[in-house]
Amino acid sequence: MTAPPGIPFFPYTQLFLSKESELLAVMADVCRRGAYILQKDSLEFEKSLAEFTGARHAFGVANGTDAIIIGLKAAGIGPGDEVILPSHTYIATAAAVHMVGGIPVLAECGADHMLDPGDIAHRVTSKTKAVMPVHINGRTCDMSAIGRVADRHGLMIVEDAAQGLGSRFDGRSAGTFGRFGSISFYPAKLLGCFGDGGAILTNDDTMAEQILLLRDHGRNAEGRVVAWGYNSRLDNLQAAVLGHKLKTFREDIDRRRFVAELYQKGLGDLDELDLPPAPNADSCHFDVYQNYEVEADRRDELKAYLGQRGIGTIIQWGGTPVHQFRELGFTVDLPRTDRFFERCLMLPMNVAITDAEVAYVVASVRAFYAA
């Protein structure tokens, strides 16, 4: 097979170049109107996002981390409150709990690479107020099992759905199971803007009122400051871009699922790899493949070999789960998560990758293990 000139892990330039004329028209329209902060484009995008996810409310904020912080504040999580979350997540998830005064309690990941429902109960103490499932790689956690544990112990569910937009469990969208769900629009996310951006989903009207105050300096609808708040508004230019991209987002999801199927067909028989579930493998889950994360024998050698063949790969979170940041005071041992991070590797997964490029990745992986 002829090698392509190079397959980046994520082709950032294609975010713009693939739809340059359309996006320039959207941006020019916003700029000509001088509509930069909390204008109609933001309101229209929030409405469309709520409709897409089935949430009662959706609010744009400055980034995905702010979405968690503001959601936690609105939910009443504060000093001394413990929140159970997986160590297999970006540091921002745990940092958001810390920033509101809470205590992040780290738990193991399961076979699906996400929070293990069976590892939650024995981490509950009298200080535990919430459990935060993190929907990783475009797959919603097993919310039935997590819900049962939360109900048994009287815990609030709050969701980090930064990588989950569009994924569903039992027909329900990631980010809509708990008091709130956070979304990230970082450029490489499922729905990405051209900078930072985020959103908060909630079905709770009281939460919605608090979020509106917290994201905009504590100002109410009349413009009067009635609470302490943040400056965390999704700027209108990014909202307009996201609103435009949301119109074809289902097509992007279809493409990601097709690429996942190509990987499944090409690599599913290799004993050296553990692949994500194939599309339609489980009727409870609708996966959208934010990333394609495998577990691989001889992971570091495979990564180096693919790099030599021009294929970009990533070890998620820089290869460090949150509990390994001992400088932050974590002392918990999570052997299953440690073992996972010795084997995990993400192959290229995005809407710009071609069938031929996927075939080259597959052929390269197979050549490595054949050798």
At 166-191, the pLDDT tens digits run: 999 999 999 999 999 999 999 999 99
Same domain, 255 and 208: no
Put the strands of the sheet holding 273-274 in their side by side order.
273-274, 292-296, 344-347
The domain boundary, picked from 212, 227, 246, lies at: 246
CA–CA distance, 367 with 371 (Å, rounded to integer): 6
CA–CA distance, 334 with 119 (Å, rounded to integer): 10
What are the b/e assignments for 318-336, b being 16+ CB within 10 Å?
eeebbbbeeeeebeeebee
Same domain, 206 and 274: no
pLDDT of residue 116: 96
CA–CA distance, 343 with 319 (Å, rounded to integer): 10
pLDDT tens-digit series, residues 106-161 = 999 999 999 999 999 999 999 999 999 999 999 999 999 999 999 999 999 999 99
pLDDT of residue 5: 75
pLDDT tens-digit series, residues 38-63 = 999 999 999 999 999 999 999 999 99
Please give the share of the chain, as a percent, with pLDDT higher than 70.
Answer: 99
Query: Where in the sequence is the domain holding 274, given as residue range(s)?
Result: 249-370
57-61/198-202 β-pairing: antiparallel
pLDDT tens-digit series, residues 348-368 = 999 999 999 999 999 999 999
172-173/168-169 β-pairing: antiparallel
The domain boundary, picked from 246, 261, 284, lies at: 246
In a domain, 6, yes or no: no
Q: What is the DSSP letter of 193?
A: -
CA–CA distance, 166 with 286 (Å, rounded to integer): 8
The domain boundary, picked from 215, 246, 277, lies at: 246
Residue 225's domain is classified under what CATH number?
Answer: 3.40.640.10
Same domain, 52 and 133: yes
pLDDT of residue 67: 98
Reply yes or no on whether the pLDDT at 1 is more than 70. no
Element (H, E) at 72: helix 64-75
Reply yes or no on whether the pLDDT at 2 is more than 80. no
Roughly what angle, to the nearest 10 degrees, separates helices 236-246 and 40-53? 40
CA–CA distance, 113 with 362 (Å, rounded to integer): 22
Same domain, 331 and 240: no
In a domain, 10, yes or no: no
Total domains in the fold of the chain: 2
Same domain, 309 and 206: no
pLDDT of residue 69: 98
Same domain, 331 and 220: no
From the CB of residue 278, how many other CB atoms can be counted at a distance below 10 Å? 15
In a domain, 7, yes or no: no
Structure tokens, 8 = 């980046």
pLDDT of residue 284: 96
pLDDT tens-digit series, residues 185-238 = 999 999 999 999 999 999 999 999 999 999 999 999 899 999 999 999 999 999
Residue 258's domain is classified under what CATH number?
Answer: 3.90.1150.10
Q: What is the mean pLDDT of the chain?
A: 96
Same domain, 75 and 115: yes
CA angle 168, 173, 174 (to 5 degrees): 85
Same domain, 183 and 292: no
Cα 111 off chain centre by = 18
pLDDT tens-digit series, residues 246-281 = 999 999 999 999 999 999 999 999 999 999 999 999
Reply yes or no on whether the pLDDT at 4 is more than 90. no
Same domain, 169 and 82: yes
